[in-house]
């Protein structure tokens, strides 16, 4: 694994070399939040066929809750659909933008079971969730609806899945795109394309990736090429208790995503088991390390 920064030329090269996939996209911030729409644009520009199936309103913190959707009593998020709208619906000008008046898990389930056969002629090749408007680190993953959607896809539907999270605030789809939203979308697309280019199976069975981006501001981490990707773990390891991680940078254990994402312009990539939302074993980590090796870097020594 070598030090690596991601520039525009690398983004383009990776996109051109990656196979175009059918991708189902969800989140817990809502179908009309700008991050999911910006990510949609980045993925489709890279050649993928993407369908959004996300909650009608913000459902942050709802974890893996799942409930039959119901008719809307109030308007959708940001008045993106009127009160009295049906339990599931879509944007009239872009039918690949779909809402579900329920939780993130229910939303991605609808996307996989109903929308994917309609648009793809079968199951999606990959599921993505986010980018979330707040980091999902450590114990937060247990209650994150974005993580809930990804782990449902990986565990129950047997579809490789990635959850993306960053730092931001809830913003409507029709407002000016924040800088962080575009940077996160481009970084997420680059990681997605790098994983795809490594070939099938994209991830081991029941494995998902938890990806977190450092904060983007006008003065700090303001462009894609300032970021570096680091292989991390979700929870802190305890010597003599926690089994060894994969040897990525000559250490017994990978750094925690919480410790890395606040060090600078980093993207953390943790390998999780979808059944319990905890860290995967070293064998699964090794698979991801081999697939994303060209993208990953070791942390600089303090």
Please give, one letter per residue, the 3-state secondary structure of 135-194. CCCHHHHHCCHHHHHHHHHHHCCCCCEEEEECCCCCCECCCCCCHHHHHHHHHHHHHHHH
- Say whether pLDDT at 15 is over 60: no
The two structure tokens encoding residue 139: 């114990």
Q: Is the pLDDT of residue 146 over 50?
A: yes
CATH 3.40.1210.10 is the classification of domain 8-292: yes
Q: What is residue 5's predicted lDDT score, i.e. its pLDDT?
A: 36
Q: pLDDT grade, residue 4 (50/70/90)?
A: very low
What is the pLDDT at residue 19? 87
List Cβ neighbours of 274 (8 Å cut-off, separation of 6 or more). Answer: 150, 151, 152, 153, 154, 155, 161, 206, 207, 208
Segment 24-67, tens digit of pLDDT: 999 999 999 999 999 999 999 999 999 999 999 999 999 999 99
Q: What angle do CA 169, 173, 178 make, to 5 degrees?
A: 50
Is the pLDDT assigned to residue 3 strictly greater than 90?
no
**Nearest alpha-carbon partner for 221 in 229, 230, 213:** 213
Predicted local confidence at residue 7, as pLDDT: 38
Q: pTM (2 decimals)? A: 0.94
Domain boundaries, the chain: 8-292
């Amino acid at each position: 694994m070598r030090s690596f920064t991601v520039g525009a030329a690398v983004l383009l090269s990776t996109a051109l070399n990656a196979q175009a996939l059918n991708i189902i996209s969800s989140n817990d911030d809502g179908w009309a939040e700008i991050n999911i729409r910006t990510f949609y644009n980045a993925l489709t520009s890279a050649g993928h066929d993407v369908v959004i199936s996300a909650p009608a309103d913000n459902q942050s913190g709802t974890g893996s809750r799942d409930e039959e959707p119901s008719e809307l009593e109030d308007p959708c998020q940001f008045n993106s659909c009127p009160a009295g709208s049906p339990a599931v619906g879509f944007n009239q000008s872009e039918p690949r933008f779909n809402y579900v008046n329920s939780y993130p898990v229910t939303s991605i389930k609808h996307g996989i079971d109903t929308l994917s056969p309609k648009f793809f002629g079968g199951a999606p090749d990959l599921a993505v969730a986010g980018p979330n408007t707040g980091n999902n680190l450590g114990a937060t993953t247990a209650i994150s609806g974005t993580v809930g959607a990804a782990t449902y896809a990986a565990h129950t539907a047997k579809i490789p899945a990635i959850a993306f999270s960053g730092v931001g605030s809830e913003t409507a789809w029709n407002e000016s795109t924040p800088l962080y939203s575009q940077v996160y979308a481009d970084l997420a697309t680059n990681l997605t394309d790098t994983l795809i280019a490594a070939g099938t199976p994209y991830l081991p069975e029941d494995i998902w990736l938890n990806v977190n981006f450092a904060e983007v501001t006008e003065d700090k981490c303001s462009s894609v090429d300032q970021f570096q990707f680091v292989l991390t773990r979700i929870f802190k390891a305890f010597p003599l208790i926690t089994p060894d991680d994969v040897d990525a940078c000559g250490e017994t254990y990978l750094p925690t995503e919480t410790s890395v994402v606040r060090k600078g312009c980093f993207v953390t990539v943790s390998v999780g088991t979808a059944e319990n939302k905890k860290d995967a074993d070293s064998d699964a980590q090794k698979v991801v390390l081999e697939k994303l090796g060209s993208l990953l870097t070791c942390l600089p020594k303090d």
